[in-house]
């Protein structure tokens, strides 16, 4: 019986980010002609950005503090951007969910900011 092949963390993250990129492209193509579909689309996109954020965090933890500073900073910035995008899409999903449930625009805005 042979030993399992160990995949280096950067390779594992690269593969995951590639899958996520394709999934996000598909998610952005989801229909959004109704409030309910807009909410579902936004939830899907939020989840994908959340996963992306976690994968960047994996790479950040794996990257030693002795790594080239530009590389390390780029990883940290990518993680922060993905986290911000996840928050934006989570709030957007809350807005469209409220609208689908019959909320006014003002009520939906309040729901968005409390997400």
Does some domain include residue 73?
yes
Domain assignment present for 17 = no
Give the DSSP letter string of 67-109. Answer: S-HHHHHHHHHHHHHHHHHHHHHHHHHHHHHHHHTT--HHHHH
Dist CA 91 CA 96 (whole Å): 9
The answer to whether residue 9 sits within a structural domain is no
Q: Say what the pTM is.
A: 0.90
Domain count of the fold of the chain: 1
Residue 91's domain spans which residues? 35-113
Q: Check residue 21 and give its pLDDT.
A: 98
Q: Is residue 51 part of a domain?
A: yes
- The reply to whether 67 falls in a domain is yes
At residue 113 the predicted structure's pLDDT band, cuts being 50, 70 and 90, is confident
Per residue in 33-75, pLDDT (tens digit) is 999 999 999 999 999 999 999 999 999 988 876 667 888 889 9
Mean pLDDT of 76-96: 97
**82 falls within a domain:** yes
């Amino acid at each position: 019986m042979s030993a399992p092949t160990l995949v280096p963390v950067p390779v594992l993250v690269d593969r995951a980010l590639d899958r996520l990129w394709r999934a996000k492209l598909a998610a952005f193509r989801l229909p959004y002609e109704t409030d309910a579909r807009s909410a579902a689309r936004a939830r899907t996109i939020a989840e994908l950005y959340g996963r992306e954020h976690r994968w960047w965090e994996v790479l950040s933890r794996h990257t030693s503090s002795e790594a080239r500073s530009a590389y390390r900073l780029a990883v940290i910035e990518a993680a922060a951007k993905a986290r911000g995008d996840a928050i934006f899409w989570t709030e957007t999903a809350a807005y469209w969910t409220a609208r689908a449930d019959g909320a006014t625009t003002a009520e939906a805005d309040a729901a968005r900011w409390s997400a």
